Amino acid sequence: MAQIYNFSAGPAVLPASVIRQVQSELVSYKNSGMSIMEISHRSSLYTDMEAEAEKNLRKLMSIPDEYDVLFLQGGGTLQFAMVPFNLARKNKRAGFIDTGHWAQRAIEEARLVPEIKADIVASASSTNYTTLPDVPNLEKEYDYVHLTLNNTIEGTMYRELPNALNGQILVGDMSSNIMAQRYNVGDFGLIYAGAQKNIGPAGMTVVIVKHELLDDRPELPAMLSYVKQAAKHSALNTPPVFAIYVAGLVFKWLLDQGGVDEMQKRNEKKAEFLYNYLDSSRLFSAPVKKDARSITNIPFVTGNEELDQRFIVAAQENGLVNLKGHRSVGGMRASLYNAFPFEGVQKLVEFMEKFEQSVGG
Ligand code: PLP
Same domain (yes/no): 214, 297: no
Same domain (yes/no): 226, 335: no
| Ligand 1 mutation pick, 78, 80, 102, 108, max ligand atoms within 8 A of CB | 102
| Ligand 1 mutation pick, 79, 109, 156, 175, max ligand atoms within 8 A of CB | 175
Same domain (yes/no): 220, 128: yes
DSSP per-residue codes, 78-101: HHHHHHHHHH--SS-EEEEEE-SH
The Cα 76–Cα 297 span in angstroms is: 17
The set of catalytic residues is 102, 173, 197
The Cα 192–Cα 204 span in angstroms is: 11
Same domain (yes/no): 266, 118: no
The H or E element that residue 144 is part of is strand 144-148
Q: How confident is the model at residue 361, as a pLDDT?
A: 60
CB hemisphere CA count around 3 (13 angstroms): 8
The residue out of 223, 239, 257 marking a domain boundary is 257
Residue 226 lies in a domain: yes
Same domain (yes/no): 123, 58: yes
**247, 249, 104, 241: which is closest to 173 by C-alpha?**
104
| Cα dihedral 68→74→76→78 (10° resolution) | -90
The Cα 337–Cα 7 span in angstroms is: 9
CB hemisphere CA count around 351 (13 angstroms): 20
How high is the ipTM of this complex? 0.99
Same domain (yes/no): 142, 201: yes
Ligand 1 mean position, distance from CA 29 (Å): 30
Which residues contact ligand 1 via a Cβ below 6 A? 10, 75-77, 102, 148, 152, 173, 175-176, 194
The residue out of 205, 238, 257 marking a domain boundary is 257
The pTM of the full predicted model, rounded to 2 decimals, is 0.98
Same domain (yes/no): 231, 344: no
Q: How confident is the model at residue 151, as a pLDDT?
A: 98
Which stretches of the chain drop beneath a pLDDT of 50? none
**22, 17, 16, 11: which is closest to 245 by C-alpha?**
22
Same domain (yes/no): 118, 223: yes
The residue out of 257, 287, 302 marking a domain boundary is 257
Same domain (yes/no): 130, 195: yes
The Cα 338–Cα 265 span in angstroms is: 10
Residue 308 lies in a domain: yes
Residue 149 lies in a domain: yes
Number of domains observed in the structure of the chain: 2
- The CATH number linked to 318 is 3.90.1150.10
Q: Of all atoms in ligand 1, which is nearest to the CA of residue 78?
A: 16
Express each pLDDT in 224-252 by its tens digit: 999 999 999 999 999 999 999 999 999 99
Same domain (yes/no): 276, 165: no
Q: The domain containing residue 263 runs over which residues?
A: 259-358
Residue 87 lies in a domain: yes
Same domain (yes/no): 60, 111: yes
Ligand 1 mean position, distance from CA 106 (Å): 10
Same domain (yes/no): 80, 124: yes
- The CATH number linked to 84 is 3.40.640.10
